[in-house]
Structures are given as C-alpha cells and as structure tokens.
Amino acid sequence: MADQPKPISPLKNLLAGGFGGVCLVFVGHPLDTVKVRLQTQPPSLPGQPPMYSGTFDCFRKTLFREGIRGLYRGMAAPIIGVTPMFAVCFFGFGLGKKLQQKHPEDVLSYPQLFAAGMLSGVFTTGIMTPGERIKCLLQIQASSGETKYTGTLDCAKKLYQEFGIRGIYKGTMLTLMRDVPASGMYFMTYEWLKNIFTPEGKRVSELSAPRILVAGGIAGIFNWAVAIPPDVLKSRFQTAPPGKYPNGFRDVLRELIRDEGVTSLYKGFNAVMIRAFPANAACFLGFEVAMKFLNWATPNL
C-alpha cells in the first residue's frame, strides 16, 4: 500500500469532514429528494399508474410542480445535521485508524480500514437519525399534498411535542444497520482507490483533483450498494403513521416483500446511484482540500 506521510489527526478529520459534508449536501440533495419520494410512494391501485414511473419521471414532476425549491425541500435539516455528522464521521474514521496503529507510521490493512469505517458509522448515528427523520417527513409531505410542517424546526418541535425524544429518534436501529457496514465499505473503497490511482514514486497526498473525484465517486457507489436495502426500510419506517409497524423493521420488511417483492428493497436505486457519484466525489474533494489547508495552516494540530 502507498505511503502515509503524516500522522493521523482525528481533529483535522473532524474539521475537514464537516466541509466535505456541506459539499455533499449541495450537490446531492435534489436526487436525495427523488430517492425518498420513490421509496415512500404508496402502491398504485389496480389499473392505475404509479405516482412516479421512475427516477426521471419523479425528477421532472417535482421540478414542474414545485420548481427548483421542490428539489431542495428539507435541505436545512441535512445541512444542520450533515455538517457535524460528516465531521464526526471523518473524526470516527481517523480515530478508528489511530486506535489500530502501534506507531504513527504504521500502514493499515484494508480490513483495518473497513473496521475504522464501521466505527465512524456508529459515531454518526446519534446525529444522523433525527436529521433523516425530519428530512424524510418534509420531502414526502409536498408530494402528498399535506402541509403539516412549515420547516425543519417546526417539524422537530411538533415531533417532540407529539412523541417526545423517541419520536425524533425513530429509526435509530435501521440507521445503524445501514451506516455501520456501508461506512466500512465507503472508506475502505476510497483508500483502496487512492492507492491504485497514485502513480509509482508519488505520495497519496499528491493525488490530483480529478483522481480524488473519481475515487470519491466510486466509493459513494460502493457505499450505497450496501446501504440501499436498509435505507428503503428506514425511509418507510420513519415516515409511517404511529403504530403502523409495532415490531419495527421486521414488519416493514415483511410488508414490503409481501406486497411488492424483493426488488422493492432496491427502490430508488437509479436515483441513489446517479446521486452517489457526484455527491461523494464533491465530499471527498472538499475533505482533501480542507485537509491540505489545515496541514498548511496548522501543521502541528
């Protein structure tokens, strides 16, 4: 594996990860809206066409009915949540790597990088779950024609008033089931591709921006290939009326497979994959740019 020239700094990972998260949201939110609406649309009645026939149909209808603001609906929640979430995510990854090193110059194996990535998924769940819950509710209410919540803070306030803290954290277990293995795949794939793309005799830190974009984009695709089934279950569970699924994700899984078949676990696949490359390419490029700045500005941090 390629050389790691600098000691790992979890604090720098925290700061650079936050910037990478902002980049990811701005690039990826429109297709995230499409993904959630596809995943949560009700089954069509016999003889009736579905609300959305696919990714491009959903994108077109949302843009036509609600304008560009419709595609960015609910973005405040992930911006508020994703910036600290990605900061904590990259911090967790940096900490996971550091905990496995006996010496600062140790180069980690790919299974060790996967384990460090899984730790980052555990770290982010506390921030990710409420942000995802609010985002999904705001994204589907426009397509359903109801306006129960006027915005992110109003949604959070009403959820707390109605259901307490448990209502805000509904879907925590499914978020863990999605993010722990997916984050392991995410970071391991990115590090693997960076090493492959690094020319002979060069350092990983000298990788060009286009190669970072490609490595980050492909890592995002690998991440979502693992994450989509639990993400579908999470979206359904978090947007369901209270009491609909008393046994949690098992009830959601049973209902989905019974009514719509196994392929329903991959609803929104096209939207996710189209979004995954540019959003995660932007995330990792933002992270690497911020990390280079921090290494220059605060070399001893």
Contact 47, 111 (CB under 8 A): no
Residue 105 lies in a domain: yes
Instruction: Kindly report the CATH number assigned to the domain that includes residue 182.
Output: 1.50.40.10
Q: Which of 36-50, 136-150, 240-254 has the highest mean pLDDT?
A: 240-254
Residue 100 lies in a domain: yes
Q: Which residue has the tokens 């693992």?
A: 226
The pLDDT, as a whole number, for residue 271 is: 77
Residue 151 lies in a domain: yes
Residue 222 lies in a domain: yes
Residue 5 lies in a domain: no
| Tally of domains in the chain | 1
Contact 15, 287 (CB under 8 A): no
Longest pairwise C-alpha distance within the chain: 66
Q: Which residues contact 29 (CB under 8 A, 6 or more apart)?
A: 71, 72, 75, 78
Residue 1 lies in a domain: no
The pLDDT, as a whole number, for residue 89 is: 92
Residue 4 lies in a domain: no
- Quote the distance between the C-alpha of residue 300 and its chain's center: 31
The pLDDT, as a whole number, for residue 9 is: 84
The pLDDT, as a whole number, for residue 28 is: 86
Q: Which residues contact 236 (CB under 8 A, 6 or more apart)?
A: 39, 40, 252, 256
How far from 145 is each of 72, 148, 276, CA to CA, in Å?
A: 17, 10, 28
In terms of Cα–Cα distance, which of 74, 236, 82, 238 is closest to 159? Answer: 238
Q: How far apart (Å, rounded) are the C-alpha atoms in residues 290 and 281? A: 14
The pLDDT, as a whole number, for residue 142 is: 66
Kindly report the average pLDDT of the chain as a whole number: 88
Looking at the chain, which runs of residues are DSSP E strands? none
Contact 6, 205 (CB under 8 A): yes
Q: Region 182-186: what's the mean pLDDT?
A: 96
Number of residues that make up the chain: 301
0.85 exceeded by the pTM?
no
Per-residue pLDDT band for 143 (boundaries 50, 70, 90) equals low
How far from 228 is each of 57, 159, 176, 184, 205, CA to CA, in Å?
A: 20, 26, 13, 15, 31
Domain range for 254: 10-41+50-297
Residue 250 lies in a domain: yes
Q: Region 202-211: what's the mean pLDDT?
A: 88
The pLDDT, as a whole number, for residue 92 is: 92
Q: Region 49-75: what's the mean pLDDT?
A: 86
Among 14-18, 35-39, 211-215, 220-224, the range scoring the smallest mean pLDDT is: 35-39
